[in-house]
Chain A
Amino acid sequence: MAHALSWLHRLGCTSGAKVADKMVPPVQVSPLIKLGRYSALVLGMAYGAKRYSYLKPRAEEERRVAAEEKKRLDELKRIERERAEAQDDSIFK
């Protein structure tokens, strides 16, 4: 356990020099592309938020309906089980 993480100490700044050697100058991005990117980002955020608020009440309704249905079926099963137990004349209770 003592040496399991010792490899991290060897990292240091060794890669810093390698990275600084061959740095190409940054690309000048066209304004159209910049505008397109950020408008797509904002549109995506709006779409995601809208769809989330649309789906949320529907999912809750679905869960509520499923819970009610389950309760109903459980009740029916309970009645059926008790009826079967009442009719059962086995001595192994």
Chain B
Amino acid sequence: MAQFVRSLAQKAPALLNAAVTYSKPRLATFWHYARVELVPPTPAEIPKAIQSLKKVIESAKTGSFKQLTVKEAMLNGLVATEVWMWFYIGEIIGKRGIVGYDV
């Protein structure tokens, strides 16, 4: 056990280096996409969002959503599911625990 800890401490800088070299390009890719896709809406975009919401409600009222193809409807369902999952991620952050409430 002591030998393992010692050899680990000796290798630690090399391991850290390897980890950093491995993750740098991947982090760069992630950042490249996240900077466009995962940013919160700017205040200028909120009126546009409300317009889109109005359109969705209109299509529900007039029944024009029935004109969607099945593929489009499925994609919309997937997007809605993803948006709903963010709620659960927020709940995890709020309750400061991954599974269950740690009371």
Contacts and interface: CB of A to CB of B under 8 A. Distances in A.
A85 to B, nearest CB: 41
B48 A31 contact: yes
Nearest to B3: A1
B37 A37 contact: no
Interface of B: 3-4, 7, 11, 14-15, 18-19, 21-22, 24-26, 29, 32-33, 35-37, 39-41, 45-46, 48-49, 52-53, 56, 79, 82-84, 86-96, 101, 103
Contacts of A47: 87, 90-91, 94
Name A's interface SS: helix
B87 A44 contact: yes
A84 interface: no
Name B's interface SS: helix
B83 A48 contact: no
Given A38-B40, A44-B90, A32 B53 contact: yes
A49 interface: yes
B83 A37 contact: yes
A41 B94 CA distance: 10
B32 A34 contact: no
A65 interface: no
11 contacts: A8-B15, A8-B22, A15-B26, A16-B24, A27-B36, A33-B83, A34-B49, A40-B87, A41-B90, A43-B87, A44-B91
